């Protein structure tokens, strides 16, 4: 497996850990070659039964990518002499896996984690290296998107018959009942792509109608998110400068385990401008919270058509209306939770790993 750093923050790393450890538990011998963004020397370790080799990133994206290409290619050829290759993300990981597949004739399955606006394919097609990247990635046996829309984008690389849809896996949990308190939660990386400025605009409108409402924003701007600018400093400044926001909005910083937050908030809000398939949204779905989300293809892929608490991207007024509805309308909240209860089994890790195994066979 050619992966993002398994230990870093964010949904892509969590996705990689779930797949690597899940395949290991199902009897596969798994070697993960990852990039450690802040590392200065290669390292080896174990994640359960998974052999992990990390290449140094030197704290710089370009230098880390070059080091990964130079080190991961020979390591992958050596450890993958009789193996299938998986790349999680199509950047340097995809290039190494594709090159190994071309040189060895082995099976290669490439996963994309982001799609739509400023997603991987949009960024790659704007690059001067796009023809070379596409030529290499065409060696994939399968290219995998998390949604139908993402898989359609991959037809820029391989024919439609070699694309597949495999959703992000999420672990099954035992959700706690909703409390009825007007508390909303966002979790994730604090970048412009998450629409958190729109969320704060909407939250001021919510407070006009529900002065006791409370919002928790858990996350940080650490890492790189496909060109979206970090906004943590701006968010903290805006909250600090507004007495109403200061009294009703908490920015926790990064939280490694969000289970305690999901258990104590009835409403989960995702105001993103673009998503591949949000790991955070899936976790909220597994906890059967009342989810308020921007109307994106990736959100509908999880929540289903006709889900009652979607709103138009960047429409702060509609977002405020959906939040108030989620807090106060028992019938809507019950409908939203029941839909999630029916849809989430399709995303549980056991079934997703079976689909990945089928692509590797």
CATH code, residues 183-346:
3.40.50.2000
Q: Tell me, what's the pLDDT at 224?
A: 55
Q: For residue 226, what pLDDT is reported?
A: 59
CA 143 to CA 162: how far, in whole Å? 6
CA distance 184 to 82: 49
**Residue 18: CB partners within 8 Å, gap ≥ 6?**
169, 171, 349
Q: In the chain, which stretches have pLDDT less than 50?
A: none
Q: Let me know if domain 2-166 sits in CATH 3.40.50.300.
A: no
What pLDDT, on a 0 to 100 scale, did the predictor assign at position 14?
Answer: 85
- Nearest alpha-carbon partner for 347 in 144, 146, 185: 146
Can you give the pLDDT at residue 258? 93
- Sign, CA dihedral 295-299-301-304, equals negative
The Cα 137–Cα 102 span in angstroms is 9
Q: What is the pLDDT of residue 243?
A: 96
Region of residue 168 (left: phi > 0; alpha: psi -120 to 50; beta: else): beta
pLDDT tens, position by position, 238-281 = 999 999 999 999 999 999 889 999 999 999 999 999 988 999 99
Residue 108 · residue 94 · CB < 8 Å: no
| Beta strand 108-111 pairing with 85-88 | parallel
Cα 120–chain centre separation: 13
pTM exceeding the 0.85 threshold for the entire prediction: yes
Burial 72-93 (b: 16+ CB within 10 A, else e): bbebbbebbeebbbbbbbbbbb
CATH 3.40.50.2000 occupies which residues in the chain?
A: 2-166, 183-346
Residue 217 in contact with residue 235, Cβ under 8 Å? yes
Beta carbons within 8 Å of 69's beta carbon, 6+ residues apart = 92, 95, 96
Query: Could you give the 3-state DSSP secondary structure of residue 342?
Result: helix
The β-bridge partners of 63 are none
- Which residues fall within 8 angstroms of residue 356, CB to CB, at 6 or more apart? 19, 23, 86, 109, 166
């Amino acid at each position: 497996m050619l992966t993002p750093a398994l230990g870093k923050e964010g949904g892509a790393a969590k996705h990689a850990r779930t797949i690597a450890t899940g395949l290991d538990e199902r009897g596969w011998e798994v070697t993960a070659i990852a990039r450690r963004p802040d590392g200065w020397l290669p390292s080896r370790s174990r994640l359960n039964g998974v052999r992990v080799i990390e290449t140094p990133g030197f704290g710089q994206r370009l230098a880390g990518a070059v080091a990964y290409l130079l080190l991961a290619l020979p390591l992958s050829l050596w450890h993958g002499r009789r193996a299938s290759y998986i790349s999680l993300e199509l950047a340097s990981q995809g290039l190494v896996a594709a090159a190994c597949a071309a040189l060895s004739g082995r099976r290669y399955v490439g996963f994309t984690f982001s799609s739509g606006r400023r997603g991987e394919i949009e960024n790659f097609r704007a690059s001067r290296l796009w023809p070379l990247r596409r030529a290499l990635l065409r060696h994939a046996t399968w290219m995998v998107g998390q949604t139908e829309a993402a898989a359609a984008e991959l037809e820029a690389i391989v024919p439609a018959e070699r694309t597949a849809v495999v959703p992000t896996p999420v672990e099954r949990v035992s959700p706690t009942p909703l409390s009825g308190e007007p508390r909303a939660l966002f979790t994730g990386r604090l970048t412009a792509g998450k629409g958190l400025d729109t969320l704060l605009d909407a939250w001021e409108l919510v407070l006009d109608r529900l002065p006791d409402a409370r919002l928790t924003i858990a996350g940080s701007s650490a890492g790189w998110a496909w060109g979206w600018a970090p906004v943590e400093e701006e968010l903290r400044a805006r909250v600090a400068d507004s007495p109403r926001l200061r009294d009703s909005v908490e920015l926790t910083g990064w939280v490694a385990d969000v289970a305690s937050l999901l258990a104590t908030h009835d409403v989960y809000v995702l105001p993103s401008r673009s998503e591949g398939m949000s790991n955070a949204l899936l976790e909220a779905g597994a906890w059967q919270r009342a989810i308020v989300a921007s109307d994106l293809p990736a959100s509908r892929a999880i929540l289903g058509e006709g889900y009652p608490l979607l709103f138009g991207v960047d429409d702060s007024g509609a977002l405020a209306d959906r939040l108030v509805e989620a807090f106060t309308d028992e019938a809507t909240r019950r409908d939203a939770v029941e839909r999630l209860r029916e849809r989430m089994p399709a995303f549980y890790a056991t079934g997703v790993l079976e689909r990945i195994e089928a692509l590797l066979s």
